[in-house]
């Protein structure tokens, strides 16, 4: 990377992240690789020198949102030019990968389209784009190079961090674009992950969340179970989480690790999507409601307090009332601590988009409301059940009110207490005194006892 320009001049960088945690992580990495060029993050696109939209392609609405956002940005770019400045506009992420140059055809204000494998090349690409209307599309670089370049430039953050260990998906659920946009499953080597985790721990990170579209299909030596056991040995790294998992990749070794490795937190995001076998088959999920429940049973045998979270889709093509009822039944059977639910959205090019029996919007809306009511009540009950208990809380940041500090329980619930910033970075026992649907309130056990 030689064409990175002067590093003395300060430039304003606005990055907007859409969609999943992977994108939040990628946006941080993009800010990191652009920092040496003098780019400093700002909170609004107006007047920025560089605007990056880090897009998500999972649901159709998200793609349309990007185009509508680009409409506003086009105007800002024109304003900037009228003021004698210049604004560069980059579209990154899955929409970039999927739509490629089509984006620039549809919205000429876009200077550069860059796929998820090429973020480490952003500085070079941006420098080139600003000189000429030369090479703009770079979506086919090897993933390994991406990680190596990004890992070196990581800047220190807070007490928790995301760590990508796996990318891509070979599952081809019939509704999903990920296998097309993120490509085949690929796992980062163990050594590279351990090195990055050690350097994070040295900078005060106490909790890592391992990221991957199919994180529990992690295929580095020994699989995810072995990786978790090695990470758990790193000094200072006290909490390990991972997301997102597929039920079929929840192997016995990983389940056993949950029983034995204290650092593995008792919270598992394990999407099931639907409770009807007919719909699961049409979704190409390659598991049944029953096989999913058996996995949950095994997990709870290993770790009885495991909090379960999931993703659900309502209104998949062909979903009848009885199928939807089967989803509600499965939700009842599992008992969720948290969940994400979506109306099915038709993604062009995926098999489900061409299926007969697309469901009317009002039916989807009504089913989603019923599902959410059930999931909300489960989440509220799960939180309420913590009242009177003592939980280890990792304090992460000051609260909104002065004199308040916020952390997370092992079950990922936000926990508020009265306390000072000196608690940030510590894991301390907290007596839980009250709960709402979204969070817990408590007091340090030391204060309660005193």
> Binding residues for ligand SF4, per CB under 6 A?
169, 171-173, 176, 178-179, 213-214, 246
Q: Closest by alpha carbon to 379, among 415, 432, 340?
A: 340
The answer to whether 211 touches 164, Cβ cutoff 8 Å, is yes
The answer to whether 58 touches 177, Cβ cutoff 8 Å, is yes
Beta carbon of residue 283, minimum distance to ligand SF4 (angstroms, whole number): 8
Q: Other CB atoms closer than 10 Å to residue 224's CB: what's the count?
A: 27
Residues 6+ apart with CB under 8 A from 94: 19, 55, 56, 57, 58, 116, 177, 178, 181, 182
Q: What angle do CA 66, 70, 72 make, to 5 degrees?
A: 125
Of 227-235, 337-345, 399-407, 417-425: span binding ligand 5AD (CB under 6 A) = 337-345
Start-to-end Cα distance in the chain: 58
Orientation of helix 321-334 relative to helix 289-302, angle to 10°: 10
Partner in contact with 169, chosen from ligand 5AD, ligand SF4, none, beta carbon below 5 to 8 Å by kind: ligand SF4
Tell me how far apart the alpha carbons of residues 241 and 211 are, in angstroms, rounded to a whole number: 9
Q: Closest by alpha carbon to 283, among 273, 292, 293?
A: 273
Beta carbon of residue 105, minimum distance to ligand SF4 (angstroms, whole number): 27
Partner in contact with 411, chosen from ligand 5AD, ligand SF4, none, beta carbon below 5 to 8 Å by kind: none
Q: Binding of ligand 5AD at residue 317 (CB under 6 A)?
A: no
How many residues in total does the chain contain?
Answer: 450
Identify the helix (H) or strand (E) that includes residue 393: strand 390-398
Of 59, 171, 188, 364, which lies in the binding site for ligand 5AD, with binding defined by CB under 6 A? Answer: 59
Beta carbon of residue 27, minimum distance to ligand SF4 (angstroms, whole number): 19
Beta carbon of residue 374, minimum distance to ligand 5AD (angstroms, whole number): 16
Q: In the numeric block, which tokens belong to residue 21?
A: 């945690």
Task: Using the minimum distance from each CB to ligand SF4, give the nearer residue, 173 or 444.
Answer: 173
Query: Cis link prior to 244 (omega < 30° from 0)?
Result: yes
Identify the helix (H) or strand (E) that includes residue 334: helix 321-334
Task: Using the minimum distance from each CB to ligand SF4, give the nearer residue, 246 or 303.
Answer: 246
Of 36-44, 147-155, 342-350, 366-374: span binding ligand 5AD (CB under 6 A) = 342-350
Partner in contact with 313, chosen from ligand SF4, ligand 5AD, none, beta carbon below 5 to 8 Å by kind: ligand 5AD
Q: Closest by alpha carbon to 428, among 419, 166, 66, 6?
A: 419
Partner in contact with 344, chosen from ligand 5AD, ligand SF4, none, beta carbon below 5 to 8 Å by kind: ligand 5AD
Task: Using the minimum distance from each CB to ligand 5AD, give the nearer residue, 311 or 376.
Answer: 311
Beta carbon of residue 106, minimum distance to ligand SF4 (angstroms, whole number): 25
Q: Binding of ligand 5AD at residue 342 (CB under 6 A)?
A: yes
Of 347, 367, 408, 416, which lies in the binding site for ligand 5AD, with binding defined by CB under 6 A? Answer: 347
Applying the rule CB under 6 A, the residues between 267 and 286 that interact with ligand 5AD are 271, 273
Task: Using the minimum distance from each CB to ligand SF4, give the nearer residue, 169 or 405.
Answer: 169
List residues bridging with 223 in a β-sheet: none
How many residues contact ligand 5AD, by CB under 6 A?
12
Beta carbon of residue 62, minimum distance to ligand SF4 (angstroms, whole number): 14
Beta carbon of residue 109, minimum distance to ligand 5AD (angstroms, whole number): 28
DSSP states along 406-417 = EEE-TT--EEEE
Beta carbon of residue 333, minimum distance to ligand SF4 (angstroms, whole number): 21
Q: Binding of ligand 5AD at residue 212 (CB under 6 A)?
A: no
Alpha helices (H) along 132-186: 143-153, 178-181
Beta carbon of residue 449, minimum distance to ligand SF4 (angstroms, whole number): 46
Orientation of helix 21-34 relative to helix 122-131, angle to 10°: 60
Beta carbon of residue 184, minimum distance to ligand SF4 (angstroms, whole number): 11
Q: Binding of ligand 5AD at residue 57 (CB under 6 A)?
A: no
Q: Binding of ligand 5AD at residue 58 (CB under 6 A)?
A: yes
Q: Secondary structure of the chain: what % helix, strand, coil (to 5)?
A: 40, 20, 35
Tell me how far apart the alpha carbons of residues 77 and 88 are, in angstroms, rounded to a whole number: 8
Partner in contact with 118, chosen from ligand SF4, ligand 5AD, none, beta carbon below 5 to 8 Å by kind: none
Identify the helix (H) or strand (E) that includes residue 199: helix 190-202
Positions in the binding site for ligand 5AD (CB under 6 A): 58-59, 175-176, 271, 273, 311, 313, 342, 344-345, 347
């Amino acid at each position: 990377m030689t064409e990175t320009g002067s590093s003395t001049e300060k430039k304003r960088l606005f990055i907007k992240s859409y969609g999943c945690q992977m994108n939040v992580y990628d946006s941080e990495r993009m800010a990191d690789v652009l920092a040496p060029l003098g780019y400093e993050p700002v909170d609004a696109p107006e007047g920025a020198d560089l605007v990056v939209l880090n897009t998500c392609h999972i649901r159709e609405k998200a793609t349309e949102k990007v185009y509508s956002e680009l409409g506003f940005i086009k105007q800002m770019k024109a304003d900037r030019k009228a003021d004698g400045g210049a604004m560069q506009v980059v579209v990154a992420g899955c929409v970039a990968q999927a739509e490629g140059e089509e984006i620039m055809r549809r919205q000429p204000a876009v200077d550069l389209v860059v796929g998820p494998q090429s973020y480490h090349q952003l500085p070079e690409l941006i420098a080139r784009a600003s000189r000429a209307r030369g090479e703009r599309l770079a979506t086919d670089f090897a993933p390994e190079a991406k990680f190596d370049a990004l890992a070196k430039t990581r800047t220190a953050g807070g007490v928790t961090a995301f760590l990508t260990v796996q990318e891509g998906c070979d599952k081809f659920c019939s509704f999903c674009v990920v296998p097309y946009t993120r490509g085949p499953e690929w796992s980062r080597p163990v050594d590279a992950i351990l090195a990055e985790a050690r350097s994070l721990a040295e900078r005060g990170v106490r909790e890592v969340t391992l990221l991957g579209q199919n994180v529990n299909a992690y295929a580095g030596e020994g699989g995810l179970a072995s990786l978790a056991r090695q990470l758990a040995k790193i000094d200072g790294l006290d909490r390990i989480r991972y997301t997102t998992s597929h039920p079929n990749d929840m192997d016995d070794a990983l389940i056993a690790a949950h029983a034995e490795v204290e650092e593995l937190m008792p919270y598992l995001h394990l999407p099931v999507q639907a409770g009807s076998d007919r719909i699961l088959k049409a979704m190409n999920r390659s598991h049944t409601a029953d096989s999913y429940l058996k996995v949950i049973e095994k997990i709870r045998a290993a770790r009885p307090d495991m909090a379960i979270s999931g993703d659900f889709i309502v209104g998949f093509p062909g979903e009848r009332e009885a199928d939807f009822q089967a989803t509600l039944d499965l939700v009842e059977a599992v008992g969720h601590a948290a969940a994400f639910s979506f109306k099915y959205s038709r993604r062009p090019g995926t098999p489900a988009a061409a299926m007969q029996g697309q469901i009317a919007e009002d039916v989807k809306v009504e089913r989603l409301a019923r599902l959410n009511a059930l999931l909300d009540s489960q989440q509220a009950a799960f939180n309420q059940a913590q009242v009177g208990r003592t939980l280890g809380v990792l304090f992460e940041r000051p609260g909104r009110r002065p004199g308040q500090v916020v952390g997370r329980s092992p079950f990922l619930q936000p926990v508020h207490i009265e306390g000072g910033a000196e608690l940030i970075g510590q894991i301390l026992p907290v007596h839980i005194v009250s709960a709402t649907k979204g969070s817990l309130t408590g007091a340090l056990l030391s204060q309660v006892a005193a």
